[in-house]
Structure 1
């Protein structure tokens, strides 16, 4: 099975004949092209045109993150699985209000069920979450009753608002208080971990879409507009609770990720290299448990198109 390569150091990514290598402060490290599906770049890395040509030929995606761990963008090689029929069908479902709503409801339904699963897992382990679970279940019952995307997204937002209220009860660590969800920039350590984990989820999902005939620019829950991709945001909603959030809860409960691995800079918090490596390694394990089946995308879309 192909794997993900993470580059945290500064250096240069180069092509040598029919292979890749990264040259940094610790010397030269070769990257097995035949076993690599994507490369996540967090350091300051130099690239050239010859390298991009080889990445396209090898169908390897590059994802870039800035100094704070925010997703910047991707080098997405030309699609190697092209299907005009599939693009037309995706567009048809997006333009047809009832069809788009149906698919959007399925994404929210999947997210809701996994959120409830996470909460019940911790409730069964002594966390006081019964009131939160009850409120979320009442909201979940109305997902299929929505008549517009805006109404659906409002319900999804309310579900997550209740869900986030459970984080402090689950974690119970004063160094990682949730308080409220903040994104750009995240206002505390826990929000930084969530944002960083979500970025990895979005990019990994984008890489999986690349292996299908689906077009990542046409989403259903998130509006298809001038943003580069939206389908990966749709699919990621389902898996963020059981992959990103559960990983963070586990890292904190086992004290594998401590406050000292993070630091404050210009009133903004971001993961240090050690913290990013911990999250990448553990998120990667959880992601592979779902992605190695090769069907988690198609089971929500292909059957209905």
Structure 2
């Protein structure tokens, strides 16, 4: 099964005899059998006909819409995955509840652990001691999380740890890509441009996994309710940000796979040019398809994409049983 990413502006998606046809502005056509498609992601000015849309919905293939620079707009898909019994329990457990509090502690403890592991992996030899000091500061920031009595307290400690974490990453990156903290909407540098794009795409992956389990993506536990924001996807994304996106971007930069000249400045922000965008998409898809044995699934090797779905299954079970300890976040080694 394939994930289709289309970012060539002016392309058009049509249907021909049960096959998906992607026509580029220069007239070149790519024909894809519908049974081989699992997801479709469109970036920017991509045309799609109503018959093509109907074909995707009939075959339960989500279509995700992004801006040209990767801002997430929304999804188009069939509505066959709603589990109202599970959602009623979810609504009862979300908000300021003991379930939300304890689940949030589990998620943030895992997130900060994974950030520390990523820092040590990418710390250059001459910066090891400096990075170790930053990791100690992160440990101090979250040592009282288990004593927190509200989700807002947890998020406060998490914010302190995050500032130290991004400070550490900036010391592990090639000098020409050095950045000063997290920036978004718009991203102010090349590093932030890539992780913003990656987070938007990862959000969509988790959105699909959550919705596939019949959950409501807008009734979260860690993140506060926000109009049109899929807070459950944000909750589940926390443990994966450093594991999947931050480490991937560090690999792209420190592995000399992208160049500083492969970005453009516009609207007070920094964005990937077409060539770098394609490199990023290929790296992202390769990462999600990679099988690994270091996740906590026993001896079984699973792809990162499958792991996202397995985590959604754990969350669904925790909600069904009203027991947050059934949700075991990912801890990398």
TM-score, normalization: structure 2?
Answer: 0.85
Q: Which moved more, 1:164-173 or 1:65-74?
A: 65-74
Give ranges in structure 1 of 5+ residues lacking alignment. none
Are the aligned partners of 1:222 and 1:230 in contact in 2 as well (CA < 8 Å)?
Answer: yes
1:99 — aligned with what?
A: 99
Q: Which moved more, 1:244-253 or 1:22-31?
A: 22-31
Kindly state the Cα deviation for residue 52 of structure 1 after the two structures are TM-superposed: 2.1
CA distance in 1, matches of 2:56, 2:191: 35
Q: Which moved more, 1:126-135 or 1:43-52?
A: 43-52
CA distance in 2, matches of 1:32, 1:296: 30
CA distance in 2, matches of 1:277, 1:112: 30
CA distance in 1, matches of 2:42, 2:88: 33
1:295 — aligned with what?
A: 310
Is the aligned partner of 1:219 residue 2:234? no
TM-score, normalization: structure 1?
Answer: 0.92
Are the aligned partners of 1:66 and 1:72 in contact in 2 as well (CA < 8 Å)?
Answer: yes
CA distance in 2, matches of 1:292, 1:250: 22
Q: Structure 1 residues 22, 93: CA separation in 2 closer, same or farther (over 3 Å shift)?
A: same
CA deviation profile, 1:7-26 (whole Å, cap 9, x unmatched)? 01122111223221111125
SS in structure 2 of the partner of residue 297 of structure 1: helix
Kindly state the Cα deviation for residue 35 of structure 1 after the two structures are TM-superposed: 2.4
Q: Structure 1 residues 169, 96: CA separation in 2 closer, same or farther (over 3 Å shift)?
A: closer
CA distance in 1, matches of 2:190, 2:181: 12
1:70 — aligned with what?
A: 71
CA distance in 1, matches of 2:54, 2:319: 36
CA distance in 1, matches of 2:226, 2:170: 36
Give ranges in structure 2 of 5+ residues lacking alignment. 290-302, 321-333
CA distance in 2, matches of 1:231, 1:67: 25
CA distance in 2, matches of 1:70, 1:93: 30
Are the aligned partners of 2:182 and 2:192 in contact in 1 as well (CA < 8 Å)?
Answer: yes
Is the aligned partner of 1:240 residue 2:254? no
Counterpart pick for 2:174 among 172, 175, 185: 172
Query: Size of the alignment, in residue pairs?
Result: 302
SS in structure 2 of the partner of residue 63 of structure 1: strand
1:22 — aligned with what?
A: 22
Q: Structure 1 residues 84, 267: CA separation in 2 closer, same or farther (over 3 Å shift)?
A: closer
Kindly state the Cα deviation for residue 278 of structure 1 after the two structures are TM-superposed: 1.4
Q: Structure 1 residues 278, 89: CA separation in 2 closer, same or farther (over 3 Å shift)?
A: same
- Report 1:1-305 matches (<5 A): 2-9=1-8, 10-24=10-24, 25-75=26-76, 77-95=77-95, 97-123=97-123, 127-128=127-128, 129-174=131-176, 176-288=177-289, 289-293=303-307, 294-305=309-320
SS in structure 1 of the partner of residue 127 of structure 2: coil
CA distance in 1, matches of 2:33, 2:162: 40
Kindly state the Cα deviation for residue 208 of structure 1 after the two structures are TM-superposed: 2.2
